Structure 1
Amino acid sequence: MPVTNKRVTAADVARSLGLSRATVGFVLNNTPGQTIPESTRKRVLDEAERLGYRPNPAAQALRRGSTRLVMLLLPDWPIESSMAGFLDEVSYHLDQAGYTTIPYTRRTGDRVRPLWERLHPDVILGLGELDAAEARSAQDSGVRSVITLPVASSVAVVAGTVEQVRHLYSRGHRRLAFAQPVDERLVELGAARLDAAQATAAELGIEPLRVRPVSGNDGSARRAVEEWRDEGVTGVVAFNDFVAALVVGAAVRVGIGVPAPLAVIGQDDSLFTEAFVPALSTVRMEMGGLVRYVTEMALHAAGELVAPPEEVAPDLTVVRREST
C-alpha cells in the first residue's frame, strides 16, 4: 500500500472536531479580537498536535505580508571560527526578535538561481555588494529591503591589522613583514589588510612591510621565513591565525626561533591559538557591538525599528602570547 505524506491542514483539524474552518483558523493563527472559549481553543490545539498539524509557511507569509526571514549574504570566504561565532550570535538575536536567519554564500559563476528567489526573505543584508543583475532579481522577488555593507573596505576588517603592526612596534620591532594568504577568495580582503599595515607603518615612521605569500602545501612558508631572516625582518604581521601558524611552523622547522629572532602575530583569536606551540599572539575582535549593529540594521530594514542604528567601531584586544 503506498505511503503518502499528505500535509495535515486546518481543514482536517476542523473536520475531525466538527468545527468551522474559520474557528479553527482563528485559534491556529492566534487571531486577535476573537471571543473563542478557552475550552474550544484547547480542543483545537490538542487535536492539531494529535494529527501532526504544522503551519504552512507560504500561507502564513501571504497572510502576514512577511516571511520573517533575514538573509545574510556572505562573501565567498572560508568560514572560520570568528565568522562562525558571528553568525551564531546574529542568528540568536534575530531569533529572539521573531526572525529566522539564512546565511547564504553567492559565488561568482553560480549556475543556479539565487536562493532569495525561492525563499523571498523580507531583508537581504549583504556583507559585500550585489551586482546589478542580483539587485534586480532581489527586487523582482519582492524582497522589501536590500542593505549592503562594503566589508573588504570597512574599518572592522582592517582595524585588527593596525593593532598587529602597533603591537610589534611596541615590542621594539622596526623591520616587519606581511604574510599574505594565497586563497583566491581572500585576495580583496588580503589587499585591504596589507594597505592598512603599510599605512600604519608609514605613520610610525618605519619602512614598508616586506610581503610574501604563504601557503601550507607548497613550501612558500619556508621560503618566506628564510628570505625574511636574510632581510633582517624581526616581526611578521600574519593575515590571520592560520597563516600565523604556518609561519611559526616553518620558522621552527628551519631553526629560526620564535619570538626571537622572529616574532609573529595573527588575527581572530581562533580556537587553536592558545594550544599551539608556541602559543600565538593575536588580535581578538569583541563581537558584541558588531552583532548588535548588524541585528539592528536588519530589524530596521524589516520595519521593526524606527531609527537606524549608529555604526559601531570594532572593540579590539591584543592577546599577548608566546609568539611575540
Structure 2
Amino acid sequence: MAERTARTRVTAADIAREVGVSRATVGFVLNDTPGQTISAATRERVLRTARRLGYRPHRAAQALASGQSRIILFVLPDWPLDYSMRRYLEEASLLLDEAGYGMVTYTPHPGGTSRPLWESLDPDVVVGFTAFGPEDSASLRASGVTRVIPAPDESEGLHGAPALTAGPELQVRHLVEQGHTDLAFAASADTRLEELVRERGENAHRACLDAGARWHGADFIDGGDPGALVRRWHEEGVTGVVAYNDDVAAAVVGAALRAGLDVPDDLAVVGHDDSPLASVFVPALSSVRLDTGALGRALAGRALDEAQGRPRERGHIEVRAELVRREST
C-alpha cells in the first residue's frame, strides 16, 4: 500500500481494505451499531487497524447522519470576563465535555456587523445568559435552531435569577448588623456593565430602606483615584460602602487608607463575587460568594436535556449565595 501523506484523511474505506471486510462492517464497528452479528475477532481487527492508521471520525459527516452537531453554543453578554464568569464557563464546559459535547461561546457586541454564530455553526442548543430579543429569536428560527434556552416564552434570563440579585441585600444586611446606618453604593464605571450595575444599586437601595438605614446614593469608581469621593462620603457621615464587586471594593479601601481613614472603623467596605483578590488584599475584603460554578453545571445540564430530548426543568436555577466576613468590615 502506498505511503500516506500527512494531509490525507484516513477513511472507513481504507480500514475496510486493510482488514478485508466490507465498508458497512467497518461502519458498524466504528459506530458501535447495535443488533449486528460481527464476531469479536473481526471487531478487534477493525479497531486495531483504525488505531494504527490514525483514523479520526469525520465530525461533519457524523453530524449530517445523526442530525446532531454535538455543539452547545453559549451566547454571552458583552461583559468583562471576570472571575465569576470564568468559573461559570469552566464548569459548564467540563460537564458538557464529559457528556461528549463541545461548548462554543459567542459574544455579540452592540453595533457589531458580524452574522450571529448560530447561523453558520448549526449548534444543537443555543443558551443565552439573557433572554433573546425579537430579532435574535427570528434569526434563530430562520437558522433552524429549535432548542433555545431561555425559550421565547421565558422572558427572564439568567442574570435575573434570585441568587444573582441577592448579593446587595446580603451586603447591606451585613453592614447594618455591624452597626453601620449610613450607607453608599460604589459602582463600576464600565459601560458594558450598566444594566447589572443599575440592578445591584437599586437592590442595595431597597435593602437599605428596608433596614432603616440612610442611603447616600450611588457613585462611580472609574479606576482612577477615588480619594475625593471617599473623603466626601466621610464628611457626609457614610460609614459603610456596598461595592459592585471586589475590584471596586479594593479601590475604595485603598483610597480610604491613603486618606488616613481606618478600615473598618471609619469606613467598612464589602465587595461582591469573592474573587481571589478578596482574600489576598490587605486588609482582606468581606465579599458575597456566589456558586457560579454550580450555575454553570446546572445550565449545562439543562442544555443536555434539551439536546437529548429529555423534559427540561424551567424557571430559576437555585444558586447558593453567602457573605464571607473578612477584615474590611
Aligned match of 1:9:
11
Correspondent of 1:321 among 309, 321, 326:
326
Could you list the per-position Cα deviations for residues 210-263 of structure 1 after superposition, in whole angstroms to 9, with x for gaps in the alignment? 2110022x33x2222111111111000000011111111111112122112000
| Alpha-carbon distance between aligned partners in 2 of 1:153 and 1:54, rounded to the nearest angstrom | 43
Aligned match of 1:253:
258
Structure 1 residue 171: Cα displacement: 0.5
Greater relative contact order (CA < 8 Å, ≥ 6 in sequence): 2
For residue 276 of structure 2, give the secondary structure of its aligned residue in structure 1: coil
Say if 1:152 and 1:188, in contact at 8 Å, map to a contact too. no
Aligned match of 1:196:
203
Say if 2:176 and 2:213, in contact at 8 Å, map to a contact too. no
Say if 1:14 and 1:20, in contact at 8 Å, map to a contact too. yes
The residue type paired with residue 173 of structure 1 is H
Structure 1 residue 309: Cα displacement: 5.2
| Alpha-carbon distance between aligned partners in 2 of 1:187 and 1:101, rounded to the nearest angstrom | 27
Structure 1 residue 279: Cα displacement: 0.4
| Alpha-carbon distance between aligned partners in 2 of 1:36 and 1:181, rounded to the nearest angstrom | 64
Structure 1 residue 18: Cα displacement: 2.7
Correspondent of 1:175 among 147, 168, 182:
182
Where do residues 280-295 of structure 1 align in structure 2 (5 Å cutoff)? 280-287=285-292, 289-295=294-300
96 and 209 in structure 1: CA distance in 2 versus 1, 3 angstrom threshold: farther
TM-score, scaled to structure 1: 0.92
Say if 2:91 and 2:294, in contact at 8 Å, map to a contact too. no
Indicate yes or no: 2:27 matched with 1:25.
yes
Aligned match of 2:43:
41
Aligned match of 2:101:
99
| Alpha-carbon distance between aligned partners in 1 of 2:185 and 2:118, rounded to the nearest angstrom | 39
Structure 1 residue 299: Cα displacement: 2.5
Moved more, 105-114 or 242-251: 105-114
| Alpha-carbon distance between aligned partners in 2 of 1:203 and 1:314, rounded to the nearest angstrom | 23
The residue type paired with residue 134 of structure 2 is A
Could you list the per-position Cα deviations for residues 107-156 of structure 1 after superposition, in whole angstroms to 9, with x for gaps in the alignment? 22223222222321111110013333322222232223111352443323
139 and 314 in structure 1: CA distance in 2 versus 1, 3 angstrom threshold: same
Correspondent of 1:124 among 110, 123, 126:
126
Could you list the per-position Cα deviations for residues 266-311 of structure 1 after superposition, in whole angstroms to 9, with x for gaps in the alignment? 0111012111100000011134653453133212322443252563
Correspondent of 1:274 among 264, 268, 279:
279
**Structure 2: 5+ residue stretches without partners:** 151-155
For residue 208 of structure 1, give the secondary structure of its aligned residue in structure 2: strand
The residue type paired with residue 259 of structure 1 is P
Say if 1:159 and 1:314, in contact at 8 Å, map to a contact too. no
Structure 1 residue 4: Cα displacement: 6.0
Say if 2:87 and 2:293, in contact at 8 Å, map to a contact too. no
Correspondent of 1:229 among 217, 234, 238:
234
The residue type paired with residue 41 of structure 1 is R
The residue type paired with residue 230 of structure 2 is V
| Alpha-carbon distance between aligned partners in 2 of 1:61 and 1:30, rounded to the nearest angstrom | 16
**Structure 1: 5+ residue stretches without partners:** none
The residue type paired with residue 99 of structure 1 is Y
The residue type paired with residue 177 of structure 2 is S
Aligned match of 2:316:
311
Say if 1:213 and 1:224, in contact at 8 Å, map to a contact too. no
15 and 209 in structure 1: CA distance in 2 versus 1, 3 angstrom threshold: farther
The percentage of counterpart residues that share the same residue type is 47
| Alpha-carbon distance between aligned partners in 1 of 2:185 and 2:58, rounded to the nearest angstrom | 53
Could you list the per-position Cα deviations for residues 136-184 of structure 1 after superposition, in whole angstroms to 9, with x for gaps in the alignment? 2222322231113524433232111110011001101010010010111
Aligned match of 1:155:
162
The residue type paired with residue 263 of structure 2 is V
Structure 1 residue 98: Cα displacement: 3.0
Aligned match of 1:298:
303
Aligned match of 2:153:
none
For residue 277 of structure 2, give the secondary structure of its aligned residue in structure 1: coil
